[in-house]
A and B are shown apart, each in its own frame.
Chain A
Amino acid sequence: MGTSDDKMVRVPKDMYDAIGEIIKKYPQYGWKGPSEFVRDAVRRYVDELRRREIILKRAAEAMPGRVKDILSRFMGPEEASEAYEEIKKINERDADKFIQEAVKVLKKYVGEALAEIIARRIVEERINEGEYRY
């Protein structure tokens, strides 16, 4: 049920009709009407964004150490340490941007394609860690 603090959000008619059809098609989810469907969808999307933010934050935190570890095997400890120091120096609070900067550093050592594969792998590892509380 709504309250007096609730705000209105417009959706196009086509979308509204599509929502109605989904509610009818999946009664097992228990949506009582389009408003409840939209509230549920928005809640889930915000959760997803927060989860992504946490994963990126953890990936950014792990980035210097994992890069050092991977490069150490790939091209030896000296270059791995150099890359580690450069990534540690990146002054960026936003996790997404931090990772982008780290990829730029990596690019110098291993080329763009491999730098992106390494960064993606580090993010995937964080996803596979499971449990994201916020």
Chain B
Amino acid sequence: MRASTGIKNLDEIVNGGYLERSFNLVYGAGGTGKTLFTMNFLLSGAERGEDVLYVSLEESWDDITHKIPEGMRQRLSKVKSKFHYLDFGSLRPILGKEVLQAEVLIEAITSSIMVHRVKLVGIDGIAPLSMFYEDSRRVRSAIFDLSQNLKSYGVTTVFTSEEVNGLSRYGVEEYVADSVIRLVYDGRVRRLLILKMRGANFIGGAHGFEILNNRLEVYPRRMALKAHREITAEGLDIPKLDVMMGEIYGGDVVLITGPPGTGKSIFGLHFIKGACDRNDRAVFISFESDVPKMKRKMKEMGGNMERCSFFYVDPVGIDLYKLLWKVKGVTENTKRVVIQGVNTIARNPEYHEFIHELLQYLKRSGITTMITYTIPQIISNNTLGDDSVAYLADDIINLRFAEINGELKKILVIIKSHAPTHDRGLIEYRIGRRGIVIVGRIEEMEGVMSGTPTRQVEIKKRVEKFFK
């Protein structure tokens, strides 16, 4: 049997929660959320009808209840009769440091466990133990005694410790504990690392962690993969281009790369418009454009707005694991997704893992995805921008400009497609009021990819003239 950590997503990546009758460490620097983690663990237990006990060794109960977010305070008020506490933080100034000896703590905690039939215990902040035990070996022994006693009473305990040089304060808590979770906050994003979890195959590494008003959230860096869906035929829903492209299947990833102004977003709008017009759900997630602008354009193109959802994600200071799970949430029962401008987050150190996990998830869910990636060079670029996406892309279309007859024309090249017979030509297109219009193949031109093509006939004439 396992005891919930109080966070659904965390339970899922640790086989359902903590082992029952276990002693579990949560450590981290100040402000990483240790107290809230403990509170949330106990609140969830109390909400399930279990009696729980919060033991504060450092801060007073008054301070703690004033500091927790309003939403958590409200949860606490609803389960007051199940939520018991022992406030050593305010007892210490009255009775002295004697109250911090292991014998006193153990007796007080176990008395409360027996009186209230407590199932879950949270011991917050073991740092003050060093006030009584100046020798760190004696602190270790005290923690060990505490763990053994609490286990013998059949309770599941979470205890917190301060982080010192990457380790817990006394460096022994990890060995005594059945599980170890480290919390990290760099001032921008929060991370939760599972370092040890007895009796569970857990997903290691840094997971997203967020403190909300009434609860805590964990955004695992990996998602449970779904079974592959049945293969269905799909398309880009751009007249003529679908024929040139050949087959696209449900769950495919289509990468559209190109410099600014080539209409990558319009390709995206076509893509979701096609799904929405058939009454399927589609989602447009943008790191670049503001949502009203995209909606207006979609209306101009005559799209069915009821089935389409638009989301703007600010790429600055974003938590990619949180975004991963947000995308999962908004793409439930969705046929197509457009992710516009992933290049804006490409410098995030977690980007590679994020995009891999996201695209794998969408593929397995049978959601056809279009990714747009902006390349900074206007003319004559030779890259697809990003190998993190390219290796997962089933279909790749490269958009570019070419100077033809004194005009900067838009050209697309199908770099990759499932269909062996896809068009290998250079295709001119333009953007009209109702979206992309395919003009046709560029014939009798050479060097289009360089951006400054010349006519094949012209070259022939020059060669003939030379030999004459």
User: Which A residues are closer than 8 A to B by beta carbons?
Assistant: 70, 73-76, 107-114, 117-118, 121
Contacts and interface: CB of A to CB of B under 8 A. Distances in A.
A75 B112 CA distance: 9
Interface string B76-103: 0000000011111011001110110101
A75 B107 contact: no
Given A112-B107, A114-B107, A73 B87 contact: yes
B110 A75 contact: no
B294 to A, nearest CB: 55
13 contacts: A73-B87, A73-B94, A74-B87, A75-B85, A76-B84, A76-B85, A109-B112, A109-B115, A110-B112, A112-B107, A113-B104, A114-B108, A117-B95
B388 interface: no
B104 A73 contact: no
B225 to A, nearest CB: 47
B103 A113 contact: yes
Contacts of A121: 94-95
Interface of B: 60-61, 84-88, 90-91, 94-96, 98-99, 101, 103-104, 106-108, 110-112, 115
Contact of B95 (A107, A111, A118): A118
A125 B48 CA distance: 43
Contacts of B96: 117
Contacts of B95: 70, 117-118, 121
Nearest to A106: B111
B87 A114 contact: no
SS of B interface (majority): helix
B76 to A, nearest CB: 12
B104 A114 contact: yes
A115 B95 CA distance: 11
A70 B90 CA distance: 9
* Residue of B91, B101, B103 with most chain A CB atoms under a 10 A cut-off: B91
A111 B91 contact: no
Contacts of A74: 86-88, 90-91
Given A73-B87, A75-B84, A111 B115 contact: no
Contacts of B108: 110-111, 113-114
Contact of B111 (A70, A108, A117): A108
B275 to A, nearest CB: 57
A110 to B, nearest CB: 5
A117 B60 CA distance: 19
A118 B101 CA distance: 14
A111 B104 contact: yes
Contact of B98 (A70, A111, A112, A117): A117
A124 B178 CA distance: 42
Contacts of B104: 111, 113-114, 117
Contacts of A109: 111-112, 115
Contacts of A70: 91, 94-95
A64 B227 CA distance: 66
A121 B98 CA distance: 11
A73 B99 CA distance: 14
Contacts of A113: 101, 103-104, 107-108
A111 B86 CA distance: 12
A111 B94 contact: no
A113 B112 CA distance: 14
B115 A117 contact: no
A113 B110 CA distance: 12
Contacts of A75: 84-87, 112
Contacts of B94: 70, 73, 121
Nearest to B90: A73
Contact of B99 (A76, A108, A112, A114): A114
Contacts of B112: 75, 109-110
A77 to B, nearest CB: 11
A114 B108 CA distance: 7
Contact of A73 (B84, B91, B101, B111): B91
A111 B107 contact: yes
A117 B107 CA distance: 12
